[in-house]
Amino acid sequence: MSIKIGIVSPSRRQGETTLTMLLGLALEKATGETVCITATGADYLSTRTYLGVEVTEDITKSASQLNQLLESGVMTHEGFKDYLTALTPKTDVLLSSTLGMSEGEGDRLFGNALPYLTHEYIVTDINSSLDAELVRHIYDEYDFIIVVFSQDAVVIKKLNTWMKSGAYPETSKVGYVLNGYSPIVSDARTVAKNLGIKYAAKFTKLALNPYIRKMGNEGKIIDLLTYITKKDTRTLEVFYDLGEILQMLSVNLCFAIDWGTD
């Protein structure tokens, strides 16, 4: 049975797509298992841009065509594999939206496709509205939800309000990543304390690093992970931060990792 991890944010443009890409690739590296990177909603360009996937689509294998086959009930598990894009020998990406699709159409496609994913790990970038029916389903069915947010005071206020609402996921399976972190802005442990979250066990950070933005814009996230895992001095802090995120998942979901931090 797959371990399913969702990544969501209280506000747009907090880095959830980048974190989804990096975490999915890092999980393969740290566990040696198969991974599928997925997304809900109608986010068409960002996933493709970061991964360097060509935007033009084969009309016979488009997201719209896939949805028609899934809803008609004629899709097989073997045939479904043709609609996955291989990033590495063990990591695939499901591009579950296409140009012109609405959020609702993208959500419906994702919901239809999810039962066909047989990878050991499924990492999902939750791009849909926080009150969408599919998002509530993900909160219920997924093993762990990572809430990613920045040090922006407005975003933290939104998160605090959301945490107190009935629309928030079950806190026992929620972890937090403070993205684009800079100690000049605020201390991560203080942010966690103010939100009532235990640091390390459920709260980690991902350092502000220009190479994440640079490599993402150039469609070289896979190359970026190579730099990170080789402990390139330009991304060394990111290496240790990703290790902490993996450790948070390992502790909460009870699986072993080998990230090479020893």
Query: Per-residue DSSP letters for 103-165?
Result: HHHHHHHHHHHGGG---SEEEEE--S-TT-HHHHHHHHH-SEEEEEE-S-HHHHHHHHHHHTS
Question: Bigger pLDDT: 49 or 207?
Answer: 207
Q: Which two tokens stand for residue 29?
A: 């590296």
Mean pLDDT confidence for 187-210: 91
d(CA 185, CA 182): 6
Report pLDDT for 46: 67
Q: How confident is the model at residue 261 (pLDDT cuts 50, 70, 90)?
A: low
Whether residue 59 is predicted with pLDDT greater than 70 in this model: the reply is no
Whether residue 33 is predicted with pLDDT greater than 90 in this model: the reply is yes
Report pLDDT for 262: 52
Instruction: From 2, 7, 80, select the one nearest 35 (Cα to Cα).
Output: 2
Mean pLDDT confidence for 135-162: 95
- Percentage of the residues of the chain whose pLDDT score is greater than 70: 92
Q: What residues have CB less than 8 Å from 200, skipping those under 6 apart? A: 244, 248
Report pLDDT for 44: 54
Q: What residues have CB less than 8 Å from 98, skipping those under 6 apart? A: 44, 57, 62, 63, 64
- Residue type at 78? E
Structural domains in the chain?
Answer: 3-253 (3.40.50.300)
Name the helix (H) or strand (E) containing 195. Answer: helix 188-195
Question: Bigger pLDDT: 46 or 23?
Answer: 23
Three-state DSSP class for residue 174: strand
Whether residue 60 is predicted with pLDDT greater than 60 in this model: the reply is no
Name the helix (H) or strand (E) containing 167. Answer: none
Question: Bigger pLDDT: 225 or 66?
Answer: 225
